[in-house]
Amino acid sequence: MEIERPEIASPHEIDVAEASRIEQLRESCQQPIPDPDAWLDEEIRRNVLVTTVDYVLDWARTRSIFPLMFGLACCAFEMIGTATSRFDISRFGMDIFRWSPRQADLMIVAGTLTWKMAPAVKLVYEQMAEPKWVIAMGACAISGGTFRESYSVVPGINRIIPVDVYVPGCPPRPEGLIHGIRQIHEKVLKDSIRR
């Protein structure tokens, strides 16, 4: 009896396909993506009705931001420490760290991003539902840090995805990350549903 075998790519073909994805991303991401900073403009004219709706909606959003776990290196431990009882980000309604990008609002990229990992980060960012925000945590995520000139490290995650808040440090303490989250709240409060 003839058994019909589906076409399965050989391991080598999968490797070559992965390499071509990385090279394409590397070529297309030579310049940093500008930070989304239109919200800094205070001169937004709003009518009364939208302002009220905005206020309620933004209030609800600031108190229910679900972060996405994206620990890539040692900064992840400070992020985990932020979630534990001493620093307790449950205070901001963030107690559920989500592993699924579909259920998350805030992506905390904690650690060194290599070019091999970069397509995965971009994919996860694109899978997140709007509205979404990104924190670049630590020197490596901001600019590549000490590995900036390295052959394998992305010099700042803003080459791959737009970043809302940068939290400097190597690694930043949990207080620093909480300050970054407060900055995200400030940003969300200035958001309008008309966007």
Partner 1 sequence: MTVALNGEEIAKKIAEAFPDSVASADKAAVIVTSQSLYQVAEFLKNTPGLDFDYLNDLTAVDYLDYLEVVYHLTSLKHNHSLVLRTRCYDREEPVLPSVVRVWRAADYQEREVYDLMGITFEGHPNLKRLLLWEGFVGHPLRRGYL
Binding site for partner 1 (CB under 8 A): 12, 15-16, 18-19, 22-23, 115-116, 151-152
Q: Partners of 165 in the beta sheet?
A: 135
With respect to partner 1, which residue has the nearer C-beta, 44 or 74? 74
Nearest-approach distance from CB 60 to partner 1, in angstroms: 43
- Rounded to whole angstroms, the Cα distance separating 111 from 108 reads 9
Query: Residue 47: is it exposed, middle or buried by C-beta count within 10 angstroms (0-12/13-18/19+)?
Result: exposed
- Cβ neighbours around 123 below 10 Å, total: 11
- Rounded to whole angstroms, the Cα distance separating 113 from 38 reads 27
With respect to partner 1, which residue has the nearer C-beta, 18 or 95? 18
With respect to partner 1, which residue has the nearer C-beta, 18 or 126? 18
Cis amide bond preceding 131, omega within 30: yes
With respect to partner 1, which residue has the nearer C-beta, 19 or 129? 19
Nearest-approach distance from CB 74 to partner 1, in angstroms: 18
Nearest-approach distance from CB 23 to partner 1, in angstroms: 7
